[in-house]
Amino acid sequence: MSNNDNTLKSELLMPAGSLERLKTAILYGADAVYMGTPDMSLRTRSAFTLEEVVEGIEYAHSHGKKVYLTLNLFTHNKDVPKLEGYLETVRKVKPDGLIIADPGVFQFVKKNAPELELHISTQANICSWLSVDFWKEHGASLCVLAREVTFAELVEIREKCPDIKLETFVHGAMCMTYSGRCLLSNFMAERGANQGNCANSCRWNYKVHMRLKDGTETDINLSEDNQELFDFFLEEGYRPGELLPFSEDEQGSYILNAKDLCLMPKLDKYLELGIDSLKVEGRNKSTYYVAVVARAYRMAIDDWARDPENWSPKEYMKELDTIPNRGYSLAFHDGRLTNHAHSYEEGRSLAEWEFAGTVHEITDDAFIIEVKNRIDAGDVLEFVSPYSKQTFLLRIYEFKSAKNGKVTESVHGGQKPLIVIDFSLFDHEDDIENLKKLLPLMSIVRKERAMTKKEWAKLKFDKEASRIEMGKGSDEKYLAKREELQEAIKEGASDKQLKTPRFGVEGCCGKGCNGCLVFWNDPAYEKARTLLKSKKQGEMFAKDMIECA
């Protein structure tokens, strides 16, 4: 039965592209994870072996969580002999569901492993209650709806199909084609998009060339002498007269690049409707992505359950902004995509934060951190707890190797070095034992990322586009920020800067970080220190979660 009782929380379903990411997802609040092996799913770049699938299921079940296996390949004759051996193995560990797209595979599993729940993959392109009802009548327990389903359609599907579980995507990369039915990658790079091996051809940069129509073969090459004579626009059939400008820099132009799906601003509507499973895309994403997204949606779902009337997405969106993204969009929530759901200026994912490391070991007197990206003297590390909304800030001036005790002023992530973070460095935390509970093994650490003027302008532009989708932004501000971005692109400056007014050992962000010599000793921050004392340390601790850890 569906989760129509609002006292029950919708399931948070996270991707697991490796065993490490599976464990991270569970640590940071996932109710369930989905995963698969390269040969029997659509994810040819999956890091799981069949043995690790077994281990992952056992691990999840020991923590009271569910695992759904992706068996959503479209079978060729060569794949059929593998099915029997695969099914024989996985049924022994009793996964909580198999995600299937191929009707032949569905029939095979239903006949040979009738005890397993069958979930219908998004690759089946379910967009109506008629299709949901069809799969329910054939024995499916859950249907994953296509990303193209609008919220209004979802409401009708829920109403007409109350006796089957529904799953919908709430976060992750968007494909510029119909639920991943893309041939661009196959054509451009001979990599199968529907096997999870997409080359992301839609996000490549493309050079603009013009040719005269008088029969000559001479290209018109844009240069400093003639580039001001031309403007370039896109116009598509459903928006006649709406000319969408795009520009080309030294990297090229981006004309097919969809922004990332993020339904956090509308999450309360999905929770009210009683959608059974809220799915996050990203089995090829990093451990950092899995941890932060799970944490944000876990907090949002739990807070809504406690107080739906006063729920607001604002603080959770701030958390989601710390992971690299292409700009967020509501995608098909309100209907067809708008031009605000695409990015014509940049194909990369950006964020003002980056992955710094993970808690690799906890000794009697220190955290041992595995470094993931470069950290320099004076950088502020933010320790992100899976059990508390409060994070822990530490300004660090030197790095001690866990291997040989050597002290340096910077550390690089290439060789995954281990550094020692003595508990004594957390000089303004009163309860170190509680700190250790709040930051268990595999907890993530992040830091601010320095970015170019163009990258900062792109973040501001994307946020204004998101505001417009929400009916809160203004066209005037949107056009102004687009102009700022285009100017930054033309300027092409490569100098990078941090958001907070500091770099290295100079300046201070004013947040009162542990270990910050500037904040705790400079007379200029005396008033700030006084204000900070009025805020009780740890007042936002989720004590009920700590006790369950």
pLDDT value of position 322: 97
At residue 363, the pLDDT reads: 97
Q: What pLDDT, on the 0 to 100 scale, is given for residue 534?
A: 73
Q: Which amino acid is at 376?
A: D
Using CA atoms in the order 290, 301, 326, 318, what is the torsion angle rounded to 10 degrees? -100
Could you give phi then psi for residue 15, rounded to 5 degrees? -80, 150
- CATH class of segment(s) 353-450+499-548: mainly beta
C-alpha–C-alpha distance, residues 364 and 121, integer Å: 47
Q: Show me where the domains of the chain are located.
A: 11-174+259-320, 178-258, 353-450+499-548
Amino acid at residue number 320? L
CATH code of the domain made up of 11-174+259-320 = 3.20.20.70
Yes or no: say if 170 and 145 are a contact pair by the CB < 8 Å rule: no
Distance CA 166, CA 323 (A): 27
pLDDT at 94: 86
CB 116 within 8 A of CB 161: no
pLDDT, tens digit only, all 549 positions of the chain:
344 444 467 999 999 989 999 999 999 999 999 998 655 554 444 567 777 888 899 999 999 999 999 888 788 898 898 888 888 888 888 899 999 999 999 999 999 999 999 999 988 989 999 999 999 999 999 999 999 999 999 999 999 999 999 999 999 987 755 565 555 555 455 555 555 556 565 555 555 555 555 655 555 555 556 656 666 665 555 556 655 555 544 444 445 567 899 999 999 999 999 999 999 998 889 999 999 999 999 999 999 999 999 999 999 999 999 999 989 999 999 987 777 777 766 667 899 999 999 999 999 999 999 999 999 999 999 999 999 999 999 999 999 999 999 999 999 998 889 999 999 999 999 899 999 999 999 999 999 999 999 999 999 999 999 999 999 989 999 999 989 998 898 888 889 888 876 667 778 888 899 999 999 999 989 988 888 877 644 443 343 444 444
| pLDDT on residue 215 | 54
Decide: 141 and 165 in contact? Cβ < 8 Å: yes
Residue 142 and residue 93 in contact, taking contact as beta carbons nearer than 8 Å: no
Q: How far is CA 159 from CA 149, 153, 163, 216, in A?
A: 15, 10, 10, 62
Do the beta carbons of residue 173 and residue 260 sit within 8 Å?
yes
pLDDT at 546: 40
pLDDT at 5: 44
Six-digit token pair at 11? 């399931």
d(CA 33, CA 371): 26
Looking at the DSSP bridge assignments, the partners of residue 120 are: 100, 143
Could you tell me if 421 and 435 are in contact, meaning their C-beta atoms sit under 8 angstroms apart?
Answer: no
Q: How many CA within 13 A on the CB side of residue 6?
A: 13
Helices and strands, counts by H and E, the chain = 16, 30
Note whether 66 and 26 are within 8 A (CB). Answer: no
Q: Are 303 and 295 in contact (CB under 8 A)?
A: no
Count CB-CB contacts under 10 A for residue 210.
11
User: Do residues 476 and 356 make contact, with C-beta atoms less than 8 angstroms apart?
Assistant: no
What does the alpha-carbon distance between residue 187 and residue 134 come to, in Å, rounded to a whole number?
Answer: 34
Listed in sequence order, the DSSP H helices in 174-225 are 184-189
**What is the reported pLDDT for 43?**
42
Point out which residues pair with 280 in neighbouring strands: 171
